[in-house]
Structure 1
Amino acid sequence: MLLAAIAVPIQAPLLAMTLLLMAALFLPPVFRALKLPELLGLILAGVLLGPSVFNILEPKADTVALLAGVGKLYLMFLAGLEIDLSQFQAARDRSLRFGLATFAIPLSVGLLIGLGFGFNLNSAFLIGSLLASHTLLTLPIVEHYGLLRQRAVAATLGATIFTDIGALLVLAVCLAVQSGDGGITAIARDLLIFSVFIALVLYGVKPLSRWFFQRARANERNQFLFIFLVLLLVSLGAQAIQLDMIIGAFLAGLAVNETLQDEPVREKVDFFGKVFFLPCFFIDIGLLLNPVAFWQTLTTATSLTIAIIGGLFGSKFLAAFAVKQREGYRWEEVRLMWSLSLPQVAATLAAAQAGLKAQLISPAVFDSIIALVLVTVLIGPLLTDRFAQRLCWIRQREDRSTPVAFLD
């Protein structure tokens, strides 16, 4: 620890919560002014407040663990909530094909990277799953350019359902194997239980949420409490069948997705999570980071970090290229699909944290994943903005009778 001797971790819950909220309030605007991602500022706040530097907050403290734990669930809940199911239905076959490619290719590349660096098969599969998903971080950019209904964009957005569920199921199997219950029969049994649970959530919670919202049409307070209760109950249900709670949170988001689409309470659900719980989770990621060890990973395990980052960039591009010929995409669309599928935040961070706690991945891999997140958060939006502009320019140049293959 760098400066741990000058302080002891705060034990008072209210004071710990106050510090978390102060960090969430003051640091993001500073990084925004510096043209840097707010996420970077929150992680840095955690590093400074954590045991590696000033030792003010302890990651295992009850207040931090509670707020960060709910924040992790809320992160996955919003990931499921923000998927546009209507876009998925409109481009279902195209989404499934790209989803399979952008899941299987990075998973395979990550598996090879893990095995190449001496990790066992279970850990290597988890490393592969960390590369297989993607976060719709750059969605506002394509929305700004009016490209949400463009065929390549719609396919990429729809593919998120496939990649996130697939990556989280791989995580669930890896955790089951790590716990010692990893025989073929046990894995088959677990997959059957997982499948039944997924079906119950997606096809049971959806009508229940619609019924409740009809009954509480004029009461946004009860609507909000119901949604939050669904998040917690489904997450606890996932934990009860030995699934990680983040899988339940993601499924809960998918289950209430359509119900919340046109409801005023949707904005409050987003606002409450993004303002209060999500910053606590990102700060907690920083609390777990040791800057000295992180730097040592980047310098002494440079090849691992480069392999993971390069593996993601290369495999995501290969996935977009793999569907180019069949779907008739032009190169500009392939590049846009690639840039949209690059950012790794929600499922990647949550799964990496779960893998680290279960000792499935080493601290060096965890640090490399944090570097991957930061790189993709910085580069993904820049590439998406560039490629979206290019596609819009091409659309404007073409004759109105032959637009750039929009869904409508």
Structure 2
Amino acid sequence: MNYLVQLFLILLLVTLSTHLANWLKMPGVIGALLIGVIVGPAILNFMQPTTFTHYFSEIGVIVLMFIAGLEGDLGLLLKYWKPSLVVATLGVIFPTGTAFLLCHSLFGYSVKASLFMGLVLSATSVSITVQVLKELNYLNTSAGAVILGAAVADDIICVILLGIATGIYTGAKESPFQMIVPKILFFVIVWVFGRWVVPWFLTRFKDLNSTESLTAGAMILCFGGAAMAVAMGMSDVLGSYFAGLAISQTPYAKPLASKVEPIGYAVFIPAFFISIGLDVKFAGMSHDLLFIVLLIITAILGKQIGCGLGARIFGLSLNQCNIVGAGMVSRGEMALVVANVALASHVINTNHYTAMVVVTVITTILAPFILKFFIVRNQKVDTEKSNND
């Protein structure tokens, strides 16, 4: 299929499906995810993942997280850094540990295969969560801040654990010290750039005699931050998110948000949403159906309980804890990175890999339903309290 036809179909299908989802009182992102499953290899096989959809969707998720950073509240994030760290840590321990026990004790997989499959389930992707939080006006709340902060910490923990596990089982020469130092350096650079370089850079670009020079400057920071993060062993979305967060502290945040959002949501972000559904393939799943179902349950409950418990330790209400747990359920790019590393290192086989991809996609599709349920319930409780007062 010609790439122009693909782009035409992606934009048309995502726009119509999100409209239908909103009409049915569901988050619009659910419609975009499900239409990918329907038209993809899983059901109609009308569209397939291609190199074009892959790279276009990568740009989409980078821009999505950049927008989240632009609209972020740095003060709120800093206020909740402690619960975020605890939430992330327990959110790694619970799903990794339970998945390891499930794979090794119940299905008899090797220790190293079980460990890597556990690590796949430890990785959180908040790209979908961010969209649901934005749609329900819940991004800049205490629960939203904990989710975003925990996602950052989760990413770092997962990268470090992946490096250690890969070094042990594949003979990689990088020491834990060599893996950790670039991550620390990344945050030092982010702080320096965010504090001094970003405001200066945007001010200079604003004065350039060029069409939309300020918007271009913001996008340069977005993709530059993503590229720097990848170069230092971090997720690209982490770099773009911090670039947006740095801009949010400048006077240019609101005008840039109004410029960047149409770019993202009109073109690139739909490709990201639909590409997740296109990755679902039901062929050959019947042999591993029980394994996949149990892994999905483990993936959801591991994050829901582990992250919810972490939030509860720091005094968040039970409803807020459920929102935090649900917000960390979604997997995505980092989970697929771990699965790819494990497959390339011959730690897991292709059947394991397929199962992990399916679990990653299914949990990502289910996460918005779970998150909306808990947010709506919390909003009802808040409304009842205000009425009683």
**Same fold, judged at TM 0.5 (above):** yes
**Residues 117-159 of structure 1 deviation map (CA, whole Å, 9 limit, x = unaligned):** 2344344234223389993433564669xxx6xxxx43x3332
* Structure 1 unaligned spans of 5+: 1-9, 399-408
Could you tell me which of 281, 294, 306 is aligned with 1:315? 306
What TM-score do the two structures reach when normalised by structure 2? 0.81
Q: Is the 1:28–1:41 contact (alpha carbons within 8 Å) kept by the matching residues of 2?
A: yes
Q: CA offset at residue 192 of structure 1?
A: 0.6
Query: What RMSD, in angstroms, separates the aligned Cα atoms of the two structures?
Result: 3.3
Change (3 A) 1:178 1:282: farther
Question: Would you say the 8 A contact 1:343–1:373 is kept in 2?
Answer: no
Quote the residue 1:401 is aligned against.
none
1:142 touches 1:388 (CA, 8 Å); kept in 2?
no
1:16 matched to 2:11? The reply is no
1:217, CA displacement in angstroms? 4.4
Are residues 55 and 283 of structure 1, via their aligned partners in 2, closer, same or farther at CA, if it must alter by over 3 Å? same
- Secondary structure in structure 2 of the residue aligned to 1:259: coil
Maintained 8 Å contact 2:128/2:368: no
Residue identity over aligned pairs, in percent, reads: 19
2:30 is aligned, of 17, 28, 40, to 40
Any idea what SS the aligned residue of 1:102 has? Answer: helix
Question: Which residue in 1 is equivalent to 2:133?
Answer: 138
Deviates more, 1:106-115 or 1:333-342: 333-342
Query: What is the CA–CA distance in structure 2 between the aligned matches of 1:377 and 1:41, rounded to whole Å?
Result: 11
Aligned CA distance change for structure 1 residues 295 and 318 (closer, same or farther; 3 Å): farther
Give the alignment partner of residue 358 of structure 1, picking from 341, 344, 353: 341
TM normalised by structure 1 equals 0.77
Aligned length: 367
* Secondary structure in structure 2 of the residue aligned to 1:130: coil
After the TM superposition, which of the residue ranges 284-293 and 258-267 deviates more from structure 2?
A: 258-267
- Report 1:50-199 matches (<5 A): 50-61=40-51, 63-89=52-78, 92=79, 95-116=80-101, 117-118=103-104, 119-130=113-124, 135-136=129-130, 137-138=132-133, 141=136, 153-154=141-142, 156-177=143-164, 186-199=175-188
Find the aligned partners of 2:240 and 2:285 in 1 and give their Cα distance: 29
Matching residue of 1:7: none
> Which amino acid is the alignment partner of residue 84 of structure 1?
D
Residues 167/295 of structure 1: CA separation in 2 closer, same or farther (3 Å cut): farther
State how far apart, in whole Å, the 2-side matches of 1:260 and 1:380 are: 32
The whole-number CA distance in structure 1 between the counterparts of 2:264 and 2:125 is 25
What is the letter of the counterpart of residue 342 of structure 1? Answer: A
Q: Which ranges in structure 2 are unaligned for 5 or more consecutive residues?
A: 105-112, 344-351
Shift of 1:349: 1.9
2:382 is aligned, of 391, 396, 402, to 391
Alignment of 1:326-337 (within 5 A): 333-337=317-321
Q: Any conservation in 1 of the 2:33–2:365 contact (CA below 8 Å)?
A: no
